[in-house]
Amino acid sequence: MIDPRPERPGAVLLGVQLPDVSDEDFASSLAELGRLAKTLGLDVVGRVTQRRGRLATGAVVGEGKLKDLARFTGGTGVVPTGPPQPRRKERGTPVESRDDDGEGEEVAASPDAVPPAARASVVLIDHDVTPSQARNLERATGAEVLDRTAVILAIFQRHARSREARLQVEIARLNYMAPRLRESGAGKDRQGGGIGGRGAGESSIELDRRKLRDRVAELRAELQSIERDSSTRRKRREQQNTVALVGYTNAGKSSWMRALTGSGVLVQDKLFATLDTTVRALQPESVPRILISDTVGFIKKLPHDLVASFRSTLDEARDADLLVQLVDASDAAFPAQLEVTREVLREIEATDAPRVLVLNKIDKVDAATRERLAIEWPDAVLLSVKDPADVATMRQRIVAFFERDMVEEDLVVPYAKQRVVGEAHSSCRVVEESYDEHGTRLRVRARPEVIAKLRAGL
């Protein structure tokens, strides 16, 4: 017999289709929420959806839908009146309906009992909700309720590795929590920590808002000192040729980073696998060197606070000479994802640098679609990181981009200044080298400012 118990905690997705949202966008947004859930280690056991003019002020959806939702979680399905009770540890009645096809707006109530173990302990909402809406949903479902921002914050919190990323996430998380803190004495029911990390470890539940603000200020100060270091490192790279890989989460940025630089950055079929910026030289090394950076990805409705927190991380993209914008061409929703990327780039003011648009994962696209994409996106390059020939093409394009601005000039380096010959070899391409009574004669190719710097040393 198949064991019906999921290995991972169950989640039920809740989505409201507002009048200005097309069926297609609604479905893709909910599917994305499902992928976010999976990234968080949750099993999606069902979806409850409803078309509404706006979110219900009380508990997001109407009474009937609330009951549907509670069938997945084992809650009462009604928002109790009176003061909030601690969240129940034990689930009561078994779940009676299950809907995981994600189709249509109605949840078919099936009389088949779902084993209690297959129930959802978390409700994920594809919207940002007010603290009171979340609280009402929690009380009606008996489950932990996370809105879209909380889900993204929880993933960021789990994936942050460096001190810088951890500080950035923690600041965004505390800012998110501040308006959601319960009045004094409340919040005890949150102890033990849920998926959202609220109440876990170094919890701020007991802290009042003022203390929380102090903590944010403290973290900001620490972050600033780290950022000073990384901005110094970035300054040092100013004279170098830099390329930033940017795009929606899971587009394949880190895969390209690995392919182009041979670095061992993390590649995962997860959302927001990368939070830290990595910078490595293009391999095989070009002369002069070209540096590639891989950084955090973007997503629809990325919490504004998170973008603000990650600003310094994203500076790498802002300062790049060339932006390689990647999209997952095998995802039908990629044009919307591209628009999100453009918006975030505008927000961080990374709009000056020239861009190359790469329709990545083209190996997953059939020939007909490939042809259509090539016509619809004439300025884009269609590539797959899995194809070594495509990797070579990409490398060539990057090298060619920097070559375009380069000029060729002759230098005569006196024998007393041979150090400059060494410098020329590292910062320029030396096309010809010969020796006569005046010194070393070099014909070099590089950007004009690089050659000017060499001349200054003569």
268 interacts with, out of Mg ion, ligand GTP, none, CB within 5 to 8 A per kind: ligand GTP
Rg (CA), the chain: 27
C-alpha span between 186 and 58 (Å, rounded): 20
Is residue 364 at the binding interface for ligand GTP, with CB under 6 A as the rule?
A: yes
DSSP 363: G
Residue 197 interacts with which of Mg ion, ligand GTP, none, CB < 5 to 8 Å by class: none
Helices marked H in 264-333 — which ranges? 304-309, 311-318
Number of residues this chain uses to bind ligand GTP (CB under 6 A):
23
Q: Residue 332 is encoded by which pair of tokens? A: 């039908």
Instruction: Give, as one character, the DSSP assignment of residue 204.
Output: -
Residue of 79, 19, 12, 91 whose CA lies nearest to 48: 12
User: Toward ligand GTP, which CB reaches closer, 50 or 255?
Assistant: 255
Q: What distance in Å separates the CA atoms of residue 44 and residue 95, rounded to the nearest whole number?
A: 15
Minimum distance from residue 255 beta carbon to ligand GTP (Å): 3
Applying CB under 6 A, among 297, 357, 413, 427 the residue interacting with ligand GTP is: 297
Tell me the window of 44-52, 89-97, 379-387, 392-400 that interacts with ligand GTP (CB under 6 A).
Answer: 379-387
- Which one, of 111, 122, 146, lies nearest residue 12 by Cα? 122
Instruction: Say how far residue 244 (Cα) sits from the centre of its chain.
Output: 15
Choose from Mg ion, ligand GTP, none: what does 363 bind? Cβ within 5-8 Å by kind. ligand GTP
Residue 314 Cβ vs ligand GTP, minimum distance, rounded to whole Å: 13
Which residues in the 65-104 window bind ligand GTP by CB under 6 A? none
Nearest distance from residue 310's CB to Mg ion, in Å? 14
Question: Could you tell me which of 53, 55, 152, 32 has the C-alpha nearest to residue 102?
Answer: 32
Q: Residue numbers of the site for Mg ion (CB under 5 A)?
A: 253-254, 273-274
Q: Residue 288 in contact with residue 451, Cβ under 8 Å?
A: no
- Looking at the Cβ atoms of 249 and 313, the one nearer to ligand GTP is 249
Residues in 221-280 that interact with ligand GTP by CB under 6 A: 249-255, 267-274
The residue among 83, 278, 282, 264 whose CA lies nearest residue 186 is 83
CB of 250 to ligand GTP, least distance (A): 5
Residue type, 220: R
Is 384 a binding residue for ligand GTP by CB under 6 A? The answer is yes
CB of 327 to ligand GTP, least distance (A): 10
Binding-site ranges for ligand GTP (CB under 6 A): 249-255, 267-274, 297, 360-361, 363-364, 384-386
